[in-house]
Amino acid sequence: MINYDQFLSNTAKGMKRSEIRELLKLTRKPGIISFAGGLPAPDLFPIDDIKEMCKIVLEKEGKTALQYGPTEGDNRLREELAKMMNKDGVNISSDHILIVTSSQQGLDLVGKIFVDPGDVIMISRPTYVGAIQAFHSYGAKMMGIELDQEGTQTILLEAEIVKLAAKGSKPKFIYEIPDFQNPSGITMSLKRRKELIRIAEKYDLIIVEDSPYRQLRFEGKSEPSLIGMNSERILSLYTFSKILLPGFRLGWMAGPSELIQKAVTAKQSVDLCSSPFNQSILYEYLSRGLLEKQIIVIGKAYKEKRDFMLDKMTQYMPKLPGLKWTQPQGGLFLWVTLPESMDAGEMFIAAVEKQVAYVVGSAFYPDSGGSNCFRMNFSYSSMAEIEEGVKRLAQVIDTWKGRRETSIITP
């Protein structure tokens, strides 16, 4: 047999499959209630509106929309996005925006333009598994900073930066998901945001702000975006996958023009341009004010599902010391912490056998951690599935708790 490893680059050898994507394969069996994927609710997709926009685009500009387009993206769409960001308190123009093939491509471009093998980047613990995967593929050394209920603990962050400085080094960037963080659902407080900006300014650092859920706030006060607080030091990533349609695979990157132009150059060698046809459809959709209406619709629906899941968690989960979960003000996820003696990875197989699935917490750590945690999604499942799934999961936890207690006691 041929040893294909001998032909692979060091980058390819270091690549790891997404744990979430691998776990999702196990959840596609009939009858399984899956809280695993970060999937929007498909019954809320505005299919009729998209049909109409497709017709308009094909009739008005079919030959152009079906042709190659500029790497930067459709300028009309970029201008609409700049207007949308202006309303959110960000003073930005279309020249500071790059259309990307979903924010996941944005994360890959961030790795491509910033990271050399061995470079240190600062992330929260836990953090988005797709970011870990993207940065790992470029050889980044990820230094995790613990979260609390206000977000990344900036005191710990600064202390680690000072330690690096003493060794003659500093992070390439700080990666943050400030709004309804994936996987925890935690929103960074205004105090922490200000501290984060202060740290970036003091130590001459860049912050990569991942913002896929910002517009999905159900309650509470919206804090200013990081890019709105300092547009010179923030490179922000956004996506339409959570607020409209994941199937379009479109998002955008916003930030300093010098960094955007580097990302444009990096993107040219990847896909030349994101789908001009989909961009034209999105432009027509946004220019008619339909996105704002859609966000209201999905926000209302997701709030009801979040409230329902939280209610059922309280109703069905066993009363165990150390068992707790977050109560996010928006987004798509709950983060569940089990008693320290329990392992969510070991329990996962038992959960799948019970026809319910989640994502194990260790997937969201670049190092060891999160073994007694897991993430649950509330946007995708129906109300009936949420109740039945939580009930099944509670039974698994209750049963597994007994097994763990027995294994600890038995010599």
In tens, the pLDDT along 305-364 reads 999 999 999 999 999 999 999 999 999 999 999 999 999 999 998 999 999 999 999 999
| Residue 380 main-chain phi, psi, to 5 deg | -85, -45
Query: Which residue from 36, 39, 38, 328 is spatially nearest to 179, judged by alpha carbons?
Result: 328
| Residue 148 main-chain phi, psi, to 5 deg | -135, -165
- Answer yes or no: is pLDDT of 407 > 50: no
As a whole number, mean pLDDT of residues 177-200 equals: 98
| Residue 75 main-chain phi, psi, to 5 deg | -65, -30
Query: Which residue from 242, 245, 243, 261 is spatially nearest to 253, judged by alpha carbons?
Result: 261
What b/e readout covers 42-76, taking b as 16+ CB neighbours within 10 angstroms?
Answer: eebbbeebbebbbeebeeebeeebeeebebbbbbb
Determine the topology of domain 4-45+292-404 in CATH. Aspartate Aminotransferase, domain 1 (3.90.1150)
As a whole number, mean pLDDT of residues 356-384 equals: 94
pTM: 0.94
CATH number of the 47-290 domain:
3.40.640.10
Rounded CA gap, 102 and 117, in Å? 25
Amino acid letter, 269: S
Q: Residue 402: what pLDDT?
A: 62
Long-range contacts of 161-170 (CB under 8 A, 24+ apart): 161/122, 161/199, 161/203, 161/205, 164/120, 165/203, 169/120, 170/120, 170/203, 170/204, 170/205
Mean pLDDT over the full length of the chain: 93
- Answer yes or no: is pLDDT of 92 > 80: yes
Name the pLDDT band for 37 (thresholds 50, 70, 90). confident
As a whole number, mean pLDDT of residues 383-389 equals: 98
- Answer yes or no: is pLDDT of 411 > 70: no
- Answer yes or no: is pLDDT of 28 > 90: no
State the pairing for strand pair 251-254/173-176: unpaired
Domain regions of the chain by residue span: 4-45+292-404, 47-290
As a whole number, mean pLDDT of residues 141-170 equals: 97
> In this prediction, what percent of the chain has a pLDDT beyond 70?
94
Q: What is the DSSP string of 192-204?
A: HHHHHHHHHHHTT
54, 285, 358 from 60: Cα distances, Å: 10, 14, 45
- Answer yes or no: is pLDDT of 5 > 90: no
